[in-house]
Structure 1
Amino acid sequence: MNDKENRIDPLSDQEAKEMWQDILSRIRIHEAKKRKTKVIQFSCAIAATILLLIGGILTYRLYLSPDVYYAMENSIMITLKDGSQITLSKGARLTVEKSFPSDTRDVILEGDALFKITKSKEHPFIVHGNGYRTKVLGTVFKITQTEKTFNVDLYEGKVQVVKNETPKEVFVLHPEETFSNMGSPRVVTISATNKETKKVKSATATLSFTNMPLLEAVTIVEKTYGIKINYPADQATSVISVNMENTTADNMVKFIAAQLDLNSKKNNEKTFELEE
């Protein structure tokens, strides 16, 4: 064999340079394709995640998120799925779960509202307010509340009011009666509903409070019955408790006097004295 024919001539500097540039170019092209593939895969993953997130949000809003009604500037009237009508006062907000109406018809109220509830013996209607629950089967009533006060005026039917902290204590209202905590979570009063035309105080009332200074207790009793009670100044901080249903102002004053070992005297229909 001819050695000349088998000999490979070495590359010139120019040829070696061109070959090296060609190899580098191929490597760059290959790497670029790999990066492009990764970008596409990453973009697809992000797009799929976004679509899943959007789908989840839409599903939540359509099927799980509660309906919220807000009377921003004026009173509004809402008709719920069960036919109940609720008039929200300005600034009030009502939250209704998507499951409404279920075994119980629960709503959450912030602010004031008038309720006209469709009757249902199987599905009680429960309004969750500021620390209290108002339970009805079918009736017309009004709830007014602030940060401290909670009042229920009953016009038709019957309602039950329960304080969240003491769920075993149930207070029942009948037509033209008002439940009030008088601005204190320790107080319960049930008295005749004030009419717009004549502010007549209740002849009988239900009151419940525990370990309250006489000064505060007398204020509550006076507001409930529309009376005035005078008592010795040194008794102002004496603590009393009351839990009486449908009692008159006379009996209430006598009950308070007995707890403090005082005598009670009725000066007239509106004024009472507690004396040592």
Structure 2
Amino acid sequence: MNNNEPYVEPLTPQEAEEDWLAIIARIRAHEVKKRKRKISRFVSAIAASILLLIGTIITYRIYVLPDIYFAKDNDLAITLKDNSHITLSKGAKLTVYKTFPSDTRDVFLEGNAVFTVSKSKEHPFIVHAGSYEAKVLGTVFKVVQTGATFNVDLYEGKVQVSNSTKPTESYIIQPKETFSNMGSNQVATVAPTVHDDFKKKEMSATLAFTDFYLQDALKIIERTYRVKIIFPADRATSKISILSKDAMVDQLMENISIQLNLNIKKTNVNTFKLEE
């Protein structure tokens, strides 16, 4: 052994164990710090993802998700971006997409509502209700939906009503007129709007239906013109087609009698009788 080298006294077993434990403690502390850094990065990534998701949801709700108005317990008054005013009847729902207003001002209605539409010749206002559309440029009207029955009562302006199942057909209604499908997609009627003081004097109406049973067609005519029609019971299921525009009831009944090869009598001002 070189006498110039310093003498290092060997560790006792206890000192060696304490040093080893210290080394282990440092290693563990280092591992804990590494895990904390990993957890911190993971938590940061999760937080960023959550913030991104929340931002996406908020953006979707603000810029994409349609506005839905629901008159739950009472009538609900709404003013749209184009300054059109709508009153939803109790139980009605209106859906308006964020694109409103655009080239066409489309709204989607379930139930009944009164519309006061701001005028715009360049941007028609279209109410979608089931398979029906009511298209206007500026007007006041009421849409009533009861079961399968679809009605439009017009107060001011002009409305064009169409059915998506019959795209080639449309009907123009004027103030104080009502469009009705009488509970069937196969029927279209335009007649004066009925009020408590309604007078039937020289009333005309537009009716259209194809291959209808006579008994069903005559019920519609009775409801439209508020008359009574008597007909042979054995002809109840005879098929009839009608397309009449602005026709008086006398003229319409004459056309029906010719179509069915029946005679017609007017027993009084409100009663018609079809017979062999």
CA distance in 2, matches of 1:115, 1:21: 84
**Aligned counterpart, 1:237:** 237
| Amino acid aligned to 1:129 | A
Q: 1:66–1:96: 8 Å Cα contact kept in structure 2?
A: yes
| Residues 270 and 56 (structure 1), Cα distance of their counterparts in 2 relative to 1, 3 Å cut | same
TM-score, length-scaled by structure 2: 0.88
Q: 1:203–1:225: 8 Å Cα contact kept in structure 2?
A: yes
CA distance in 1, matches of 2:215, 2:243: 17
**Aligned counterpart, 1:223:** 223
**Aligned counterpart, 2:83:** 83
| Residues 27 and 256 (structure 1), Cα distance of their counterparts in 2 relative to 1, 3 Å cut | farther
Shift of 1:98: 2.3
Q: Which moved more, 1:214-223 or 1:88-97?
A: 88-97
**Aligned counterpart, 2:50:** 50
Q: Which moved more, 1:145-154 or 1:251-260?
A: 251-260
**Aligned counterpart, 1:63:** 63
CA distance in 2, matches of 1:33, 1:79: 59
Calculate percent identity across the aligned residue pairs: 58
| Residues 259 and 14 (structure 1), Cα distance of their counterparts in 2 relative to 1, 3 Å cut | farther
Q: 1:205–1:247: 8 Å Cα contact kept in structure 2?
A: yes
Shift of 1:260: 2.5
What do you get for the CA RMSD once the two structures are aligned? Answer: 2.7
Q: Map 1:99-178; keep pairs closer than 5 Å.
A: 99-178=99-178
| Amino acid aligned to 2:71 | A
| Residues 271 and 22 (structure 1), Cα distance of their counterparts in 2 relative to 1, 3 Å cut | same
What SS does the corresponding residue of 1:51 show, helix, strand or coil?
Answer: helix
What SS does the corresponding residue of 2:242 show, helix, strand or coil?
Answer: strand
CA distance in 1, matches of 2:172, 2:220: 20
Q: 2:92–2:113: 8 Å Cα contact kept in structure 1?
A: yes
| Residues 199 and 129 (structure 1), Cα distance of their counterparts in 2 relative to 1, 3 Å cut | farther
| Residues 146 and 39 (structure 1), Cα distance of their counterparts in 2 relative to 1, 3 Å cut | farther
Shift of 1:34: 3.4
Q: 2:267–2:273: 8 Å Cα contact kept in structure 1?
A: yes
| Amino acid aligned to 2:120 | S
Q: 2:200–2:225: 8 Å Cα contact kept in structure 1?
A: no
Q: 1:213–1:239: 8 Å Cα contact kept in structure 2?
A: yes
Residue segments in structure 2 that go unaligned for 5+ positions in a row: none
Shift of 1:38: 2.6
Q: How many residues align?
A: 275
| Residues 16 and 153 (structure 1), Cα distance of their counterparts in 2 relative to 1, 3 Å cut | same
CA distance in 2, matches of 1:184, 1:139: 26
| Residues 236 and 31 (structure 1), Cα distance of their counterparts in 2 relative to 1, 3 Å cut | farther
**Aligned counterpart, 1:208:** 208
Q: 2:112–2:145: 8 Å Cα contact kept in structure 1?
A: yes
Shift of 1:178: 0.3
| Residues 202 and 63 (structure 1), Cα distance of their counterparts in 2 relative to 1, 3 Å cut | farther
| Amino acid aligned to 2:108 | I
Q: 1:115–1:140: 8 Å Cα contact kept in structure 2?
A: yes
What SS does the corresponding residue of 2:56 show, helix, strand or coil?
Answer: helix
What SS does the corresponding residue of 1:195 show, helix, strand or coil?
Answer: coil
| Residues 224 and 22 (structure 1), Cα distance of their counterparts in 2 relative to 1, 3 Å cut | same
Q: 1:70–1:93: 8 Å Cα contact kept in structure 2?
A: yes
**Aligned counterpart, 2:36:** 36
CA distance in 2, matches of 1:55, 1:199: 61
CA distance in 2, matches of 1:217, 1:230: 13
| Residues 196 and 61 (structure 1), Cα distance of their counterparts in 2 relative to 1, 3 Å cut | farther
| Residues 261 and 24 (structure 1), Cα distance of their counterparts in 2 relative to 1, 3 Å cut | farther
Q: 1:257–1:263: 8 Å Cα contact kept in structure 2?
A: yes
**Aligned counterpart, 2:253:** 253
Q: 1:130–1:147: 8 Å Cα contact kept in structure 2?
A: no
Shift of 1:105: 1.2
CA distance in 2, matches of 1:102, 1:193: 32
What SS does the corresponding residue of 1:119 show, helix, strand or coil?
Answer: coil
| Residues 13 and 241 (structure 1), Cα distance of their counterparts in 2 relative to 1, 3 Å cut | farther
| Amino acid aligned to 2:177 | E
Residue segments in structure 1 that go unaligned for 5+ positions in a row: none
